[in-house]
Structure 1
Amino acid sequence: MKTYSAKLSDIQRAWHVVDAEGVPLGRLASEVAQLIRGKHKPMFTPHMDTGDHVIVINAEKVKLTGKKLEQKKHFSHSGYPGGIKLISYDVLIEKKPAFVIKKAVKGMLPHNRLGRVMIKKLKVYAGSDHKHQAQNPKIYKLKYVKGEVSDSQ
Protein backbone atom coordinates (compact mmCIF):
# COMPACT_ATOMS: atom_id res chain seq x y z
CA MET A 1 0.00 0.00 0.00
CA LYS A 2 1.27 3.45 -0.86
CA THR A 3 0.32 6.70 0.82
CA TYR A 4 -1.42 9.11 -1.53
CA SER A 5 0.08 12.57 -1.83
CA ALA A 6 -1.81 15.23 -3.76
CA LYS A 7 -0.14 16.97 -6.70
CA LEU A 8 -0.77 20.58 -7.69
CA SER A 9 -2.36 19.40 -10.95
CA ASP A 10 -4.89 17.25 -9.00
CA ILE A 11 -6.20 20.06 -6.78
CA GLN A 12 -9.56 21.53 -7.79
CA ARG A 13 -10.90 24.37 -5.69
CA ALA A 14 -14.61 24.97 -5.21
CA TRP A 15 -16.35 28.04 -3.76
CA HIS A 16 -18.72 27.75 -0.80
CA VAL A 17 -21.10 30.29 0.76
CA VAL A 18 -21.67 29.95 4.50
CA ASP A 19 -24.39 31.88 6.32
CA ALA A 20 -23.26 32.92 9.82
CA GLU A 21 -26.66 34.08 11.05
CA GLY A 22 -27.40 32.68 14.50
CA VAL A 23 -24.45 30.24 14.47
CA PRO A 24 -22.03 30.21 17.42
CA LEU A 25 -18.64 31.69 16.49
CA GLY A 26 -16.52 28.67 17.44
CA ARG A 27 -18.66 26.15 15.58
CA LEU A 28 -18.71 28.35 12.50
CA ALA A 29 -14.93 28.86 12.61
CA SER A 30 -14.13 25.17 13.00
CA GLU A 31 -16.21 24.14 9.98
CA VAL A 32 -14.92 27.00 7.83
CA ALA A 33 -11.33 26.12 8.80
CA GLN A 34 -11.91 22.51 7.71
CA LEU A 35 -13.21 23.67 4.33
CA ILE A 36 -10.28 26.06 3.83
CA ARG A 37 -7.76 23.42 4.86
CA GLY A 38 -9.32 20.73 2.64
CA LYS A 39 -9.95 18.16 5.37
CA HIS A 40 -13.36 17.37 3.87
CA LYS A 41 -11.72 15.96 0.73
CA PRO A 42 -10.37 12.42 0.38
CA MET A 43 -7.22 13.82 -1.25
CA PHE A 44 -6.25 15.84 1.86
CA THR A 45 -2.49 16.15 2.24
CA PRO A 46 -1.25 17.92 5.40
CA HIS A 47 1.69 19.70 3.80
CA MET A 48 -0.27 21.08 0.82
CA ASP A 49 -3.09 23.57 0.38
CA THR A 50 -5.89 21.36 -0.97
CA GLY A 51 -8.79 23.41 0.43
CA ASP A 52 -11.60 25.44 -1.08
CA HIS A 53 -12.54 29.11 -1.06
CA VAL A 54 -15.15 30.12 1.53
CA ILE A 55 -17.43 33.18 1.55
CA VAL A 56 -19.03 33.94 4.92
CA ILE A 57 -22.08 36.22 4.83
CA ASN A 58 -24.07 37.84 7.66
CA ALA A 59 -20.98 38.12 9.88
CA GLU A 60 -22.70 40.75 12.02
CA LYS A 61 -25.33 38.19 13.09
CA VAL A 62 -22.87 35.62 14.47
CA LYS A 63 -23.69 34.45 17.98
CA LEU A 64 -21.53 34.24 21.09
CA THR A 65 -22.91 32.02 23.85
CA GLY A 66 -22.98 32.70 27.56
CA LYS A 67 -21.52 36.01 28.75
CA LYS A 68 -18.77 36.04 26.12
CA LEU A 69 -20.26 39.05 24.37
CA GLU A 70 -19.48 41.27 27.38
CA GLN A 71 -16.60 39.38 29.03
CA LYS A 72 -14.46 38.24 26.08
CA LYS A 73 -11.86 40.84 25.10
CA HIS A 74 -9.66 41.38 22.05
CA PHE A 75 -6.12 42.24 23.10
CA SER A 76 -3.67 44.25 21.00
CA HIS A 77 -0.48 46.07 21.86
CA SER A 78 1.20 48.87 19.91
CA GLY A 79 4.68 47.97 21.13
CA TYR A 80 5.03 51.16 23.13
CA PRO A 81 4.81 51.37 26.94
CA GLY A 82 1.16 51.65 27.95
CA GLY A 83 0.06 50.70 24.43
CA ILE A 84 -2.38 47.97 25.44
CA LYS A 85 -5.81 48.11 23.81
CA LEU A 86 -8.63 45.91 25.12
CA ILE A 87 -11.92 45.86 23.22
CA SER A 88 -14.91 43.76 24.27
CA TYR A 89 -16.49 41.57 21.62
CA ASP A 90 -19.87 43.34 21.66
CA VAL A 91 -18.10 46.52 20.47
CA LEU A 92 -15.86 44.56 18.09
CA ILE A 93 -18.77 42.76 16.38
CA GLU A 94 -20.55 46.08 15.99
CA LYS A 95 -17.51 47.85 14.47
CA LYS A 96 -15.65 45.06 12.61
CA PRO A 97 -17.74 41.88 12.27
CA ALA A 98 -15.51 40.45 9.53
CA PHE A 99 -12.42 40.71 11.76
CA VAL A 100 -14.02 38.60 14.49
CA ILE A 101 -14.67 35.66 12.15
CA LYS A 102 -11.29 35.96 10.38
CA LYS A 103 -9.49 35.93 13.73
CA ALA A 104 -11.38 32.84 14.91
CA VAL A 105 -10.72 30.93 11.67
CA LYS A 106 -7.06 31.98 11.54
CA GLY A 107 -6.55 30.54 15.03
CA MET A 108 -7.73 27.14 13.76
CA LEU A 109 -5.38 27.01 10.77
CA PRO A 110 -1.69 26.03 10.87
CA HIS A 111 0.52 28.76 12.32
CA ASN A 112 3.11 28.75 9.53
CA ARG A 113 3.51 29.93 5.93
CA LEU A 114 0.93 27.40 4.75
CA GLY A 115 -1.68 28.86 7.13
CA ARG A 116 -0.90 32.38 5.87
CA VAL A 117 -1.67 31.24 2.32
CA MET A 118 -4.85 29.42 3.39
CA ILE A 119 -6.41 32.39 5.21
CA LYS A 120 -6.42 34.34 1.93
CA LYS A 121 -9.12 31.97 0.66
CA LEU A 122 -11.57 33.29 3.28
CA LYS A 123 -13.86 36.18 2.31
CA VAL A 124 -16.08 37.61 5.06
CA TYR A 125 -18.94 40.09 4.57
CA ALA A 126 -21.04 41.79 7.24
CA GLY A 127 -24.26 41.72 5.20
CA SER A 128 -25.90 39.16 2.96
CA ASP A 129 -24.38 40.50 -0.27
CA HIS A 130 -21.03 39.43 -1.71
CA LYS A 131 -19.17 40.16 -4.95
CA HIS A 132 -18.20 36.60 -5.90
CA GLN A 133 -21.23 35.61 -8.02
CA ALA A 134 -18.97 34.96 -11.04
CA GLN A 135 -17.33 32.00 -9.23
CA ASN A 136 -20.73 30.23 -8.94
CA PRO A 137 -20.41 29.45 -5.21
CA LYS A 138 -22.44 26.61 -3.72
CA ILE A 139 -24.37 27.12 -0.49
CA TYR A 140 -22.73 25.06 2.25
CA LYS A 141 -25.05 23.88 4.98
CA LEU A 142 -23.33 23.84 8.35
CA LYS A 143 -23.57 20.78 10.57
CA TYR A 144 -24.76 23.03 13.40
CA VAL A 145 -28.10 24.65 12.57
CA LYS A 146 -30.01 27.08 14.84
CA GLY A 147 -29.73 25.36 18.21
CA GLU A 148 -29.51 21.76 17.07
CA VAL A 149 -26.90 19.58 15.42
CA SER A 150 -27.98 18.28 12.01
CA ASP A 151 -26.92 14.88 10.73
CA SER A 152 -26.38 15.98 7.13
CA GLN A 153 -22.70 15.04 7.10
Structure 2
Amino acid sequence: MKTIFPKKEYHVPKWFVIDANEKTLGRLATEASKLLRGKETTFFTPGVDQGNFVVILNADKIKVSGKKELQKLYYRNSQRPGGLKIESFQKLKDRIPSRILERAIWGMLPKGVLGREYYRRLYIYSNSEIKYKKTKDGNSKTINLASANEHNWIEVNLENK
Protein backbone atom coordinates (compact mmCIF):
# COMPACT_ATOMS: atom_id res chain seq x y z
CA MET A 1 0.00 0.00 0.00
CA LYS A 2 1.30 3.42 -0.93
CA THR A 3 1.86 6.01 1.81
CA ILE A 4 -0.58 8.91 1.63
CA PHE A 5 1.03 12.33 1.93
CA PRO A 6 -1.75 14.89 2.54
CA LYS A 7 -1.60 18.15 0.63
CA LYS A 8 -2.36 21.50 2.23
CA GLU A 9 -5.14 22.34 -0.23
CA TYR A 10 -7.16 19.26 0.85
CA HIS A 11 -7.40 20.40 4.46
CA VAL A 12 -10.13 22.85 5.51
CA PRO A 13 -9.33 24.30 8.96
CA LYS A 14 -12.04 24.13 11.63
CA TRP A 15 -12.71 26.62 14.41
CA PHE A 16 -12.71 25.25 17.97
CA VAL A 17 -13.97 27.20 21.00
CA ILE A 18 -12.71 26.32 24.49
CA ASP A 19 -14.14 27.79 27.69
CA ALA A 20 -11.23 28.06 30.16
CA ASN A 21 -13.48 28.70 33.18
CA GLU A 22 -12.00 26.71 36.14
CA LYS A 23 -9.83 24.57 33.84
CA THR A 24 -6.29 23.48 34.75
CA LEU A 25 -3.59 25.36 32.84
CA GLY A 26 -1.53 22.42 31.56
CA ARG A 27 -4.43 20.22 30.51
CA LEU A 28 -6.06 23.07 28.63
CA ALA A 29 -2.79 24.05 26.93
CA THR A 30 -2.19 20.44 25.84
CA GLU A 31 -5.61 20.14 24.21
CA ALA A 32 -5.27 23.53 22.53
CA SER A 33 -1.84 22.68 21.09
CA LYS A 34 -3.14 19.35 19.75
CA LEU A 35 -6.04 21.11 18.04
CA LEU A 36 -3.74 23.82 16.64
CA ARG A 37 -1.47 21.19 15.06
CA GLY A 38 -4.34 19.07 13.74
CA LYS A 39 -3.32 15.95 15.62
CA GLU A 40 -6.96 14.81 15.86
CA THR A 41 -7.01 14.04 12.13
CA THR A 42 -6.50 10.49 10.93
CA PHE A 43 -3.83 11.51 8.42
CA PHE A 44 -1.65 13.73 10.63
CA THR A 45 1.80 14.41 9.17
CA PRO A 46 4.26 16.50 11.23
CA GLY A 47 5.68 18.43 8.27
CA VAL A 48 2.37 19.44 6.67
CA ASP A 49 0.18 22.28 7.90
CA GLN A 50 -3.12 20.64 8.89
CA GLY A 51 -3.89 22.87 11.85
CA ASN A 52 -7.13 24.43 13.02
CA PHE A 53 -8.16 27.71 14.63
CA VAL A 54 -8.59 27.72 18.42
CA VAL A 55 -10.48 30.39 20.38
CA ILE A 56 -10.07 30.31 24.16
CA LEU A 57 -12.51 32.31 26.31
CA ASN A 58 -12.36 33.22 30.03
CA ALA A 59 -8.55 33.09 30.25
CA ASP A 60 -8.69 35.12 33.48
CA LYS A 61 -10.49 32.22 35.24
CA ILE A 62 -7.77 29.59 34.62
CA LYS A 63 -6.45 27.71 37.64
CA VAL A 64 -3.31 25.87 38.67
CA SER A 65 -2.86 23.22 41.33
CA GLY A 66 -1.06 23.47 44.64
CA LYS A 67 0.97 26.56 45.53
CA LYS A 68 1.87 27.33 41.92
CA GLU A 69 -0.22 30.48 41.98
CA LEU A 70 2.32 32.05 44.34
CA GLN A 71 5.46 30.07 43.45
CA LYS A 72 5.37 29.82 39.64
CA LEU A 73 7.56 32.50 38.06
CA TYR A 74 7.62 33.98 34.57
CA TYR A 75 10.81 35.52 33.20
CA ARG A 76 11.29 38.08 30.46
CA ASN A 77 14.42 39.92 29.42
CA SER A 78 14.88 43.13 27.46
CA GLN A 79 18.48 42.10 26.58
CA ARG A 80 19.76 45.28 28.21
CA PRO A 81 21.98 45.29 31.30
CA GLY A 82 19.73 44.68 34.31
CA GLY A 83 16.77 43.97 32.01
CA LEU A 84 15.68 40.65 33.56
CA LYS A 85 12.13 40.91 34.92
CA ILE A 86 10.61 38.21 37.12
CA GLU A 87 6.87 38.02 37.74
CA SER A 88 4.75 35.55 39.69
CA PHE A 89 1.75 33.72 38.24
CA GLN A 90 -0.68 35.78 40.32
CA LYS A 91 0.78 39.15 39.25
CA LEU A 92 0.85 38.17 35.59
CA LYS A 93 -2.72 36.88 35.85
CA ASP A 94 -3.82 40.23 37.30
CA ARG A 95 -1.91 42.20 34.66
CA ILE A 96 -2.30 40.19 31.42
CA PRO A 97 -4.34 36.99 31.97
CA SER A 98 -4.06 35.80 28.36
CA ARG A 99 -0.23 35.83 28.45
CA ILE A 100 -0.17 32.79 30.78
CA LEU A 101 -2.01 30.61 28.27
CA GLU A 102 -0.04 32.05 25.36
CA ARG A 103 3.28 31.10 26.96
CA ALA A 104 2.06 27.61 27.94
CA ILE A 105 0.74 26.82 24.46
CA TRP A 106 3.76 28.37 22.71
CA GLY A 107 6.02 26.02 24.67
CA MET A 108 4.09 23.00 23.34
CA LEU A 109 4.25 23.98 19.66
CA PRO A 110 7.17 23.18 17.32
CA LYS A 111 9.79 25.90 17.09
CA GLY A 112 10.02 26.86 13.45
CA VAL A 113 7.98 28.10 10.52
CA LEU A 114 5.07 25.71 11.15
CA GLY A 115 5.00 26.52 14.87
CA ARG A 116 4.69 30.23 14.14
CA GLU A 117 1.92 29.52 11.65
CA TYR A 118 0.01 27.47 14.24
CA TYR A 119 0.49 30.19 16.86
CA ARG A 120 -1.12 32.79 14.57
CA ARG A 121 -4.31 30.72 14.65
CA LEU A 122 -4.65 30.98 18.42
CA TYR A 123 -7.05 33.57 19.84
CA ILE A 124 -7.25 34.08 23.61
CA TYR A 125 -9.76 36.35 25.34
CA SER A 126 -9.96 37.26 29.02
CA ASN A 127 -13.75 37.26 29.19
CA SER A 128 -16.54 35.26 27.55
CA GLU A 129 -17.22 37.73 24.74
CA ILE A 130 -15.27 38.28 21.55
CA LYS A 131 -15.38 41.84 20.27
CA TYR A 132 -14.52 42.52 16.65
CA LYS A 133 -13.78 46.13 15.78
CA LYS A 134 -14.55 45.85 12.07
CA THR A 135 -16.83 43.59 10.11
CA LYS A 136 -17.82 43.64 6.44
CA ASP A 137 -20.63 46.13 7.07
CA GLY A 138 -18.38 48.42 9.15
CA ASN A 139 -20.15 47.85 12.48
CA SER A 140 -18.57 46.36 15.57
CA LYS A 141 -19.73 42.88 16.50
CA THR A 142 -19.75 40.84 19.72
CA ILE A 143 -19.81 37.05 19.79
CA ASN A 144 -20.33 35.13 23.04
CA LEU A 145 -19.94 31.45 23.85
CA ALA A 146 -23.67 30.75 23.56
CA SER A 147 -23.75 31.86 19.91
CA ALA A 148 -20.71 29.80 18.84
CA ASN A 149 -22.90 27.29 16.98
CA GLU A 150 -24.26 30.04 14.72
CA HIS A 151 -20.72 30.64 13.45
CA ASN A 152 -20.02 26.91 12.80
CA TRP A 153 -17.56 26.79 15.67
CA ILE A 154 -17.01 23.52 17.49
CA GLU A 155 -17.22 23.78 21.27
CA VAL A 156 -14.63 21.63 23.04
CA ASN A 157 -15.68 19.99 26.30
CA LEU A 158 -12.59 19.08 28.34
CA GLU A 159 -14.47 17.11 31.03
CA ASN A 160 -14.92 14.13 28.69
CA LYS A 161 -11.22 13.87 27.83
TM over 0.5: yes
Deviations 1:46-97 (A, max 9, x none): 1011011000000000001111111111101111121110000101011111
> Could you tell me the TM-score, scaled by structure 1's length?
0.89
1:135, CA displacement in angstroms? 4.3
Instruction: State the partner residue of 2:154.
Output: 138
TM-superposition CA deviations, 1:111-133 (whole Å, max 9, x none):
11110111011000000011466
User: Paired residue for 2:32?
Assistant: 32
Q: What is the correspondence of 1:1-150 to structure 2 with a 5 Å cutoff?
A: 1-131=1-131, 135-142=151-158, 145=159, 150=160
TM-score normalised per structure 2: 0.85
Cα displacement (A) at 1:102: 0.9
Q: What are the Cα deviations for residues 31-50 of structure 1, in whole angstroms up to 9, with x where unaligned?
A: 00000000001121110110
Name segments (4+ residues, structure 1) moved above 3 Å.
Answer: 131-135
What SS does the corresponding residue of 1:130 show, helix, strand or coil? strand
* 2-structure distance, mates of 1:82, 1:5: 49
Q: Which runs of 5+ in 1 are unaligned?
A: none
1:139 CA drift (Å):
0.8
Please give the root-mean-square deviation of Cα atoms over the aligned residues, in Å: 1.4
CA–CA separation in structure 2 for the residues paired with 1:53 and 1:135: 13
**5+ unaligned residues in a row in structure 2: which ranges?**
132-142
Identify the residue that residue 139 of structure 2 maps to in structure 1: none
The number of residue pairs the alignment matches comes to 145
Question: Share of identical aligned residues, percent?
Answer: 38
Q: 1:49 corresponds to which letter in structure 2?
A: D
